[in-house]
Amino acid sequence: MKKLLSIVFISTLLFSCSQDNGITDVQDEQTAQVDLEKLVAQGKYDNSQYGIYEGVFSSIDGNRATVRIAIQEKGNPEVTFNFPDGSKTQLKSSGLTKASGNTNTSNFSGKDFSLDFTVNSDGTEPLISNVTYMGKKGDVLIMKETSKNAITPRTGTYSCISGCDTHPDLGKGKTQTFNAIIQTSTSSGLTSSGDTESTVADNSKNDIVFQVQLASEVFYMYSGTPTMPQNNCQDRTRDVFIPGVGTVTYNTTRCDFTGYIQGGSGLATVNGTHRFGRTTQYNGTTTDFNCSDFFGTFTYTSEWFGTSNMTFQSDDDPGNDYCFLSNP
């Protein structure tokens, strides 16, 4: 009996320690992420390979996700793919390896994803290449977040509404992927796994960059207009009644943007609207309100297939059910 009680006691102790270690590991990781975000905001990694990289992912079968790479001075680099349905995939690499010159590289590989990440020692020219998801080719557009350049990635879809039948890959009503990156303040070094572009935004805030998937091809902004500055911005205030809560005042902004995407045989004109939250007021308390929404049209004029018209809409912003209701 004593022997049995000793075994039970030891088993219980080991199980308890295992649980405690698991909780501690999660807490340590969450703390490290918060600390990394603070260091990035303070500018410590503005000119370093360490820090946070944000971007968007698309694949030839219509999958899409936002991408976040976190690289700390201690610990293994980690990449997170956040899908529109709320699911996520996280991968860790063994670390950054010196490749050639001042270039560092890292490979992430798991059950579903495989990709290579390279970046210069000063944080410039980040690039994700050799992307595969569920055995199919993918593409990632990635940018470095700094104290002067905040990055917000968004996913979405588009579909053709007219002039569709002449193009072999559009098809009327067929849903395909578009993604967007909002870059606040002046930035440089926009790089994708499909193309390499040097981008210097105007001094206007919240410039927008698109990534468009058409069948097996991925297209990016026309080099002559590498970003889409926002204009005609209007601040709005709207009271919304929330059942069980009461009336909440939402302060939001609505902006227009235009630009061009380089297609295979011509340019696609982008005319869009960006709605985003700023603050809410409830019972005399003001709270930051972070949400973002895109919608608009593409008009693609092809030398081979004529003119096609499409509409695009970003995916719902997770956790902000009242984002769009507050800014119709």
**Quick one: what percent of the chain has pLDDT higher than 70?**
80
Instruction: Provide the 10 A C-beta neighbour count for residue 328.
Output: 9
- Label the pairing between strands 292-302 and 285-288: unpaired
276, 239 contact by CB (below 8 A)? no
**For the chain, how many residues are written?**
328
Contact 155, 317 (CB under 8 A): no
What's the N-to-C CA distance of the chain in angstroms? 72
Sign of the four-CA dihedral 184, 189, 195, 197: positive
Token pair of 159, please? 């579909």
Helices then strands, each counted (H, E), the chain: 1, 20
pLDDT at 296 over 80: yes
Confidence of residue 81 (pLDDT cuts 50, 70, 90): very high
Cα 270–Cα 273–Cα 275 angle in degrees, nearest 5? 150
H or E, element range at 9: helix 2-42
> Hey, which of 51-65, 187-201, 281-295 has the most confident mean pLDDT?
51-65
Give, as one character, the DSSP assignment of residue 227: S
| Of the ranges 19-23, 108-112, 227-231, 296-300, the best mean pLDDT one | 296-300
Instruction: State the pLDDT at residue 99.
Output: 77
Q: What is the per-residue pLDDT across 172-185, written as a single tens digit (0 to 9) for each?
A: 888 899 999 988 76
Q: Determine the average pLDDT of the residues in 149-168.
A: 91
Q: Print the SS3 string covering the chain.
A: CHHHHHHHHHHHHHHHHHHHHHHHHHHHHHHHHHHHHHHHHHCCCCCCCCEEEEEEEEECCCCEEEEEEEECCCCCCEEEEECCCCCEEEEECCCCEECCCCEEEEEEECCCEEEEEEEECCCCCCEEEEEEECCEEEEEEEEEEECCEEEEEEEEEEEEEECCCCCCCCCECCEEEEEEEEEECCCCCCEECCCECCCCCCCCCCEEEEEEEECCEEECECCCCCCECEEEEEEEEEEEEECCCEEEEEEEEEEEEEEEEECCCEEEEEEEEEEEEEEEEECCEEEECCCEEEEEEEEEEECCCEEEEEEEEECCCCCCCCCCCCCC
Lowest average pLDDT, out of 28-32, 141-145, 175-179, 310-314, goes to 28-32
- Whole-number pLDDT of residue 183: 84
Mean pLDDT value of segment 114-121 = 95
Token digits of residue 153: 């990635």
Q: What is the pLDDT of residue 308?
A: 95
**217-219 and 266-282 as β-strands: parallel, antiparallel, unpaired?**
unpaired
Domain boundaries, the chain: 51-314
Query: What are the tens digits of pLDDT across the range 29-41?
Result: 555 667 899 999 8
Collapsed DSSP state (helix, strand, coil) of residue 294 = strand
For residue 43, give the amino acid letter.
G
Average pLDDT, the chain: 82
Cβ-contact 114, 93 below 8 angstroms: no
Highest mean pLDDT among 3-17, 24-38, 101-115: 101-115
Q: How far is CA 115 from CA 55, 109, 307, in A?
A: 14, 6, 36
